[in-house]
Amino acid sequence: MFLLVITMLTLDLRHYQCPQQFVQFKLGLKKSHFEQSKIKFLIDLEQPITDIELFLKKNNYRYQFDKQSSLLIVEPLGV
């Protein structure tokens, strides 16, 4: 029997302003790819997030964005 453990990284982007928020977002994605784990981003909805959503859609990421709780969960590509 095999046990598959999926870890989830967390990155708090709430104290970053645009464009640094997007830069940190991409660094977090890079780390999640390296570790092959999902990543949870805490987002400040006062900051524009259109660029983040466009990036995810353009690159075919699977993600869930709960605007009410300001959580964005992204799965690494290829998982």
Domain spans, the chain: 8-74
C-alpha dihedral (17, 20, 52, 45), degrees to nearest 10: -10
Query: According to the model, what pLDDT value does residue 6 have?
Result: 62
What mean pLDDT do residues 70-79 have? 86
Nearest to 76 by CA among 8, 19, 23: 8
> 1 or 47, which is more confident?
47
Region of 74 please: left (phi>0), alpha (psi -120 to 50) or beta: beta
Q: Is 23 helix (H, G, I), strand (E, B) or coil?
A: helix
